[in-house]
Structure 1
Amino acid sequence: MAVREPQTPSRRYKLTVEDFYRLNLPPDRRYELIEGVVYEMPAIGPLHATLVRKFQDALYENFRGRALVSTQNPLRLGQHSMPQPDLALIRVADYRHEHPQAQDVYLALEAAATTLEVYRQPKGSRYLSHLDHDPAEPVAPLAFPDAPLALSW
């Protein structure tokens, strides 16, 4: 006769930003908290780094004095998410005591060599607008319609 061990049901935890800070993750790696789940981010390759630098230069040039450019830094988006987009265009403010929050973000940009998509009007965990963008056409952040950006190189 076989003896069965009692089965304990597994539980999944949705981490908060405060939980994420307490995890004591290795400092030589990059992590993001998205919807309560921790993701280890891949190493940044040369092409990706080049694209980020080019976009960063364009953002500095177009928005100097109007917004801050944040490069690969955290954004606190609610209780369960703290992504680190490649670039973000944020409200001019003092962020020494807390990371920028959703209301501070004009634009979040992820550099990609293979796709060019524009997501707009975030609502909860989704977007109300999604465009497959023509690389030949500039696109302007909704907060700055007078400042279109060329997003391909």
Structure 2
Amino acid sequence: MTITRYKWTLDRYHQAIEAGVFDDQNVELLRGEIVVMPPEGEPHVYFSDRFSKRLQKRLGDLAQIREGRPIVLPNHSEPQPDIAVVQSLDAVYLEHHPYPENIFWLIEYSNTTLKKDLEVKAKIYAEAGIREYWVVDLKNLQLTVFRDPTATGYETEFNLSEGTIAPLAFPDLQIEVRQLFSL
């Protein structure tokens, strides 16, 4: 028996959303497949919210912070990263979610979805040309940084559990790594 999977286009996915098909589920589109997102636990919500607020204060009008909101990627994907640092385009986002060229960097907080975030999403983001992607591993209290995207993945990947880091788009923004996951 052959199993045939239906691949969703962004247009069909948006039509289904508008029709209310996914009203009772939190889903995202990854490479044309609809993926149900697990509920976020308290640590996930606490730390991502906390860091997002700090980041918005520090960046001010230089960028807009979108929390758990969709971004549109050319590989039939519309993920919802925990934090997307994007250009402040105001009403343009009434017409479309941020495209790769609007994105400075993405951050995922991971507790139960680490494998998906480090492997599947990292590859999708690299293919789309997202310059920088961070995964905050809440179980191991570590930050994985991905940079230098290519069509096959990120060329640069490193882990930090302490020290400071500056995102590529904002080199003057020094971030204490422990601020991402500590009280």
For Structure 1 versus Structure 2, the TM-score category normalised by the shorter chain is: 0.7 to 0.9
Q: Residue 110 of structure 1 aligns to a residue in which SS?
A: strand
> Is structure 2 residue 91 aligned with structure 1 residue 98?
no
Q: Which has the higher contact order (CA 8 A, sep 6+)?
A: 1
| 1:59 alignment partner AA | L
* Larger relative helix fraction: 2
Query: Matched residues in 1 for 2:23 and 2:150: separation?
Result: 32
Query: Matched residues in 2 for 1:28 and 1:12: separation?
Result: 22
Aligned to 1:4: none
* Larger relative strand fraction: 2
Query: Matched residues in 1 for 2:25 and 2:149: separation?
Result: 28
TM-score, normalised relative to structure 1: 0.86
Tell me if structure 2 keeps the 8 A contact 1:137–1:150.
yes
Query: Matched residues in 2 for 1:147 and 1:64: separation?
Result: 12
Which consecutive unaligned segments of at least 5 residues does structure 2 have? 111-137
Alignment map for 1:73-112 (pairs within 5 Å): 73-93=69-89, 94-112=92-110
Query: Matched residues in 2 for 1:25 and 1:137: separation?
Result: 45
- How many Å apart are 1:55 and its aligned residue? 1.2
Larger Rg: 1
Aligned to 1:117: 144
Tell me if structure 2 keeps the 8 A contact 1:52–1:87.
yes
Query: Matched residues in 1 for 2:170 and 2:49: separation?
Result: 21
Tell me if structure 2 keeps the 8 A contact 1:88–1:107.
yes
Query: Matched residues in 2 for 1:108 and 1:13: separation?
Result: 28
Q: Which moved more, 1:48-57 or 1:15-24?
A: 15-24
Q: Which moved more, 1:9-18 or 1:105-114?
A: 9-18
Aligned to 2:133: none
- Given the alignment, which residue of 37, 40, 43 partners 1:44? 40
Aligned to 1:67: 63
> Is structure 2 residue 28 aligned with structure 1 residue 32?
yes
Query: Matched residues in 2 for 1:126 and 1:81: separation?
Result: 16
Aligned to 2:12: 19
> Is structure 2 residue 74 aligned with structure 1 residue 54?
no
> Is structure 2 residue 177 aligned with structure 1 residue 151?
yes
Output the aligned Cα RMSD.
1.7
- How many Å apart are 1:19 and its aligned residue? 2.0
Q: Which moved more, 1:49-58 or 1:123-132?
A: 123-132
